């Protein structure tokens, strides 16, 4: 198949491109490299079925596709707070452009949404039918609300034009090709632990997250688009093992054999207290199963960080969310 991946040079996008090539597809990776990285796709560049287009998907361009994965968007709190307008535009105008293409070309379409669509959730764990608790004017709104608008656009294209589209809400994900300087918990903690620098915990460390290894996530994306009878559906994709931020910090110090300490810094504004997906729908409808346990996934990720130490940022100035 001819498959387009917007945001294909990003963390999840580049892992998805690699998997699509393994499955024999022709892949057009489109990315403006705002938060994506050419290093992520350099191993794919020589592949005869891989093409890279440096382009901003909010602007029209022509291509042929049987399937479109619309993954383009800054996705870490630091990334979208640094680029709020670009984030709003790629998830609204960019989604509209891609949906129009899917309509004209009768292509399958997947919109990558986010657990942030649930905001700071009042319902726990989060099921797909929960409408969320989002601050529409806070510092995270550029991401949360534009992803919600992208979801609305996707559902309207399904209703109005009957296109073959689905929405996937991606929960915290980690693994190789993470952006080492995007300020997220796992990249920050591993970077700090490998350099025996203090791990920076925001708040008291009692907020929770559940983290999914990127290969499992990519498997879920493939099932969500290629499995029949998934049009018009919304799926959570994520791990269900919930841990506190402090537990992640201790686990990473241990797995890195690090002598790092932990320091506490002020909480971030609108930082969700608890997050864990209910994945019963994807398990039932897609038969999706998590294959990599957390320690194993973290070990592989730490190995990747060690072997890509040239990408490590200088943690004497850890990357922080400004608030
Ligand atoms: N976090 C932290 N220290 C860091 C980076 C993140 O304590 O160096 C916390 C952050 O405040 C949040 C959790 O870890 O409670 C996950 O943050 P991340 O940026 O990975 O993504 P989020 O889930 O907030 O989108």
pLDDT at residue number 252: 98
Given the residues 96, 118, 130, 143, the one annotated as active site = 143
Which among 90, 92, 106, 93 has a CA at the least distance from the CA of 165?
106
pLDDT at residue number 322: 37
Residue-wise pLDDT for 69-104, tens only, equals 999 999 999 999 999 999 999 999 999 999 999 999
Q: How far is the CA of 185 from the centre of ligand 1 (A)?
A: 4
The mean predicted confidence, pLDDT, of the chain is 95
- CA pair distance 190, 253, nearest whole angstrom: 8
- CA pair distance 257, 254, nearest whole angstrom: 5
Find the length of the chain.
323
Confidence check: pLDDT of 250 > 60:
yes
> 307 Cβ partners below 8 Å, 6+ apart?
none
143 catalytic? Reply is yes
Confidence check: pLDDT of 311 > 80:
no
> Whose C-alpha lies nearest to ligand 1, atom 5?
185
Ligand 1 touching residue 274 (CB < 6 A):
no
The pTM for the full model equals 0.95
Average pLDDT, integer, range 205-230? 97
**Is-contact 123 130, C-beta < 8 A?**
yes
Q: pLDDT band for 318, please (50, 70, 90 cuts).
A: very low
Q: How far is the CA of 252 from the centre of ligand 1 (A)?
A: 14
Confidence check: pLDDT of 316 > 50:
no
- The number of CA neighbours under 13 Å toward the Cβ of 57 is 33
Residue-wise pLDDT for 18-37, tens only, equals 999 999 999 999 999 999 99
The DSSP line for 208-224 is EEE-EEHHHHHHHHHHH
Q: How far is the CA of 187 from the centre of ligand 1 (A)?
A: 10
Atom of ligand 1 nearest to the CA of 207: 15
> Whose C-alpha lies nearest to ligand 1, atom 16?
185
- CA pair distance 91, 243, nearest whole angstrom: 30
Ligand 1 touching residue 188 (CB < 6 A):
yes
Q: pLDDT band for 312, please (50, 70, 90 cuts).
A: low
Q: pLDDT band for 181, please (50, 70, 90 cuts).
A: confident
pLDDT at residue number 317: 45
pLDDT at residue number 323: 35
Confidence check: pLDDT of 314 > 70:
no
């Amino acid at each position: 198949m001819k498959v387009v991946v917007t945001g294909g040079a990003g963390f999840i996008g580049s892992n998805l491109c690699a998997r699509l090539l393994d499955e024999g597809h022709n892949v057009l990776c489109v990315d403006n490299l705002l938060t994506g990285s050419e290093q992520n796709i350099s191993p794919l560049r020589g592949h005869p079925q891989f093409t890279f287009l440096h382009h901003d998907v909010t602007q029209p361009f022509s291509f042929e596709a049987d399937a479109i994965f619309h993954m383009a968007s800054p996705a870490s709190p630091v990334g979208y707070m640094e680029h709020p307008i670009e984030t709003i535009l790629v998830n609204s105008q960019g989604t509209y452009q891609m949906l129009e293409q899917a309509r004209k070309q009768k292509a399958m379409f997947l919109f990558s949404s986010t657990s942030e669509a649930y905001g700071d959730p009042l319902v726990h764990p989060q099921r797909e039918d929960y409408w969320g608790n989002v601050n529409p004017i806070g510092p995270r709104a550029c991401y949360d609300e534009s992803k919600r608008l992208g979801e609305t656009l996707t559902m309207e294209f399904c209703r109005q034009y009957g296109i073959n589209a689905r929405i996937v809400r991606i929960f915290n994900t980690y693994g190789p090709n993470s952006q080492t300087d995007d300020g997220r918990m796992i990249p920050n903690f591993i970077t700090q632990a490998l350099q025996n620098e203090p791990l920076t915990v925001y708040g008291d460390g009692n907020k929770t997250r559940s983290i999914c290894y990127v290969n499992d996530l990519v498997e879920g994306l493939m099932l969500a688009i290629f499995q029949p009878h998934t049009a018009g559906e919304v799926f959570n994709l994520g791990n269900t093992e919930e841990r506190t931020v402090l537990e992640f910090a201790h686990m990473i110090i241990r797995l890195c054999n690090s002598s790092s300490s932990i320091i506490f810094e002020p909480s971030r504004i609108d930082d969700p207290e608890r997050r864990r997906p209910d994945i019963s729908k994807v398990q039932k409808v897609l038969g999706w199963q998590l294959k990599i346990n957390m320690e194993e996934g973290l070990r592989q990720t730490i190995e990747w960080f060690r072997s890509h130490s040239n990408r490590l940022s200088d943690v004497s100035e850890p990357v922080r969310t400004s608030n």
